[in-house]
Amino acid sequence: MSVQSHYDVIVVGGGPIGLSAAWRSAVGGARVLVIDRFGFLNDRCGSSGNERHWRVQYTQTDIFRLTLSAAPLWRELEQLAGRKLIHRLGSLWFGDISVPTNEGHIADTAKAMDEMEVCYEWLSARDIGRRWGFTDLPRHFEGFLQPDGGAIDVRGTLAALATLASRNGVTMHSDERVVAVDPDANGAHVRSDRAVYRADKVVIAGNAHTNDLIQRWGVDGLDLNVYEMALVTLRQRDDGVQRPFWFAFQQPSDTDTNLFYGFPPNPWAGDDLVRLGPDFEVGALEHADDATGRPQQAHVDRVLGWARTHMPWVAPDPVSTSTCLAVLPGDPDRQFYLGTAEGLVDGGSNVVVAAGGWAFKLVPLFGRICADLALRGSTEHEIGRHALTDLVPSRG
C-alpha cells in the first residue's frame, strides 16, 4: 500500500483522551487525523456507561496536582461546549482507613489534602450512617467527604470533545483499525486496515489495546492489566436524601479486592437509577478482545450482597447489568502511562502514549499534555511517575 496522506499529528484511538488530544493539537495549529476502530462515542472500551467519579483528592501529591490542574480545563470545556459536564455531588470515601487500594488510601489522602489545603469533612461510621442511611457499617469505619467531587457526564463529554475536534478541523475516521505504528527519525508511518499514513507525530490513545501496537516494536509492552468490570443498576426508593458519590474501602476478601462504589441518580438524567460497581482487580483478561460484555455473576452477586446489607434505600433487584474495560497498571502507585516512547524504539520521541488508570477525570489535561508533547516535545506538568521508559525492557 502506498502512503495516502500526510498529517502533522495522527491520534490512534478516539476515546475521550484521544479526542481531547486531537482537539488540542488542532487548536495548536496542527493538521490532525484521529482514527477509531469502533467509532467515536462507542460503548465497547474503557469509556462505556454514563458517569465517572470526579475527585480532586489523590494519595500521591504529584497526581493530586494534576487533578487540580484539570479542574479549570473542565470549566473551559464546559464553557466551550455550553453544557455542564461535572456535577458536584461530593466525593465520600469511607471504610478501613489504612487499606491500600488502586483508588488510594484514606488516611494518607487526608494528609495529602491537609498539605494541599483542600477542604474536607472527617466522618465516623455513625455520621455516615446517620447522614446518608448506610446501615451496618463496621464501627471502626471512618472517612471523609470532599465537597468538590462528584460525577462526570461521560456521554456529554464525548459529544463535546467530538464536536470541538470536528469544529477545529480534525479529520475523523471511524471503523478503521490501526495495525501498526512504525516510528523513525523524522516521524512515523501509521498502517491501518484501510490505508498507510505518514505523520510527524503520533499519539497512541488506544487504552486497552495499546500493547497490540507497542509490542510490535520488539518490547514486552506496558505492564497493564485489563479487567472486564461489572456495573449494576438499581432503583432508588425516594427517601429525599441527596447522596454523594461514595467509595467503600475494605480489606481484601479471600476471593477479591472487596472494594465497592456507587453513584447517586445522575442529575442530568432525571431518573431514580443508581449505579454500583465492584472494583475487583481479579481475573485479568489475556487480551482486551476476550471481553464478553457480560459481567461475572459472582461479581454482580457481591455488589447486590453489599447493597442489601448497607443500602436499604435501594430496591434489591437489579434493573440491568453491564461491563466496562478497566485498564490498570500492575503498579498501583504509577496510576497511568503518559509520555513519549523515547528510548524504547528508534524514533520513539515521535510517539506519545497515554494509557491506563482511572483517567476520565484527567481527560482535558491529558489531551493537552499529549498535544504539548506532540507539538513541543515537552510539558510543564509533572508526569515523571507515569513515564514509559524503564518499565519496558527490550527483548532484543
Ligand X SMILES: Cc1cc2nc3c(=O)[nH]c(=O)nc-3n(C[C@H](O)[C@H](O)[C@H](O)COP(=O)(O)OP(=O)(O)OC[C@H]3O[C@@H](n4cnc5c(N)ncnc54)[C@H](O)[C@@H]3O)c2cc1C
Residue ranges that bind ligand X, judged by CB under 6 A: 12-18, 35-38, 42, 45-47, 52-53, 177-178, 205-209, 229, 277, 324-326, 357-361
Cβ of residue 374: shortest distance to ligand X, in angstroms? Answer: 16
Closer CB to ligand X, 307 or 325, in the complex:
325
Cβ of residue 240: shortest distance to ligand X, in angstroms? Answer: 26
Closer CB to ligand X, 125 or 266, in the complex:
266
Closer CB to ligand X, 113 or 354, in the complex:
354
Cβ of residue 37: shortest distance to ligand X, in angstroms? Answer: 4
Closer CB to ligand X, 178 or 259, in the complex:
178
Cβ of residue 254: shortest distance to ligand X, in angstroms? Answer: 23
Q: Which residues are catalytic?
A: 55, 103, 261, 279, 324, 358, 361
Closer CB to ligand X, 102 or 124, in the complex:
102
Cβ of residue 136: shortest distance to ligand X, in angstroms? Answer: 25
Contact yes or no for 208/287 (Cβ under 8 A)? no
Closer CB to ligand X, 17 or 128, in the complex:
17
- Residue nearest to ligand X as judged by C-beta position: 15
Cβ of residue 244: shortest distance to ligand X, in angstroms? Answer: 13
